[in-house]
Structure formats: structure tokens, C-alpha cells
Amino acid sequence: GAGVSQSPSNKVTEKGKDVELRCDPISGHTALYWYRQSLGQGLEFLIYFQGNSAPDKSGLPSDRFSAERTGGSVSTLTIQRTQQEDSAVYLCASSIARPYEQYFGPGTRLTVT
């Protein structure tokens, strides 16, 4: 079946602009995670959604970052007023439920110029 998909695959934006990154999880997966992969910080957790529960936003680095998940499926990660340090690969993962294996999407490479 289809895996986790993310769009766009690459995004170049100017400093100060807002960007939206999209994640389509595997159908039926109730848990969804966003991670960020950057040269300086490695792979780090950003936010977690589980069903209709309030998301765990404990990994978001600043209030410029936000995410939502509509209808328990598609998720959008929004970065406002982008900075150069936001340049990274943003990865989305989904799983059937909380303790089960996470399947990763191919990522969105964000470059802030």
C-alpha cells in the first residue's frame, strides 16, 4: 500500500516568509509525528498527534512553528517568518497507534535564503 507522503519535496524560501509543509500519513494510522533533521542538531522531535487528543507540542523550537491535523489524517506544519536556522529536512512519520512502529515519509528539504 501507499506509504507516508510529504509535499513539497523541496522548498526554497526567503527569510521572513511563511511556509507550509504537508504530510499524508498511511491510511488508518492514528498517530502522526513531525521530526526535523538538521546538520547541527541531528534528528529531533517536533510534535505528535494521536487521534482527537490534544497534540504534544513539546518539541516545537519556537512559537513561529505550528501544526494542525485535519480530520485525523493530513497534517500541515507551518513555519512563520522563516529564519536561516530553520533550514533542514522535515520528516513526518505515522503509526497505527502510540506504541507501534513509526513509518517515515521521504521528507521536505527546506532552504531559507
Partner 1 sequence: GDSVTQMEGPVTLSEEAFLTINCTYTATGYPSLFWYVQYPGEGLQLLLKATKADDKGSNKGFEATYRKETTSFHLEKGSVQVSDSAVYFCALRHTGANSKLTFGKGITLSVRP
- Give the binding site for partner 1 (CB under 8 A): 4, 31, 33, 35, 42-45, 48, 50, 56, 58-59, 91, 93, 98-99, 101-107
- Least spacing, CB of residue 78 vs partner 1, in Å: 20
- Least spacing, CB of residue 91 vs partner 1, in Å: 7
Q: Single out the residue of 43, 35, 42 nearest to residue 6, CA to CA.
A: 35
CA distance 56 to 31: 11
CA atoms within 13 A on the CB side of 104: 12
Q: Among residues 35 and 65, whose Cβ is nearest to partner 1?
A: 35
DSSP code, position 20 = E
Give the CA distances from residue 110 to residues 11, 18, 22, 45, in Å, rounded to whole numbers and listed in that order: 5, 12, 12, 16
Q: Among residues 25 and 107, whose Cβ is nearest to partner 1?
A: 107
Q: Among residues 66 and 102, whose Cβ is nearest to partner 1?
A: 102
- Least spacing, CB of residue 82 vs partner 1, in Å: 23
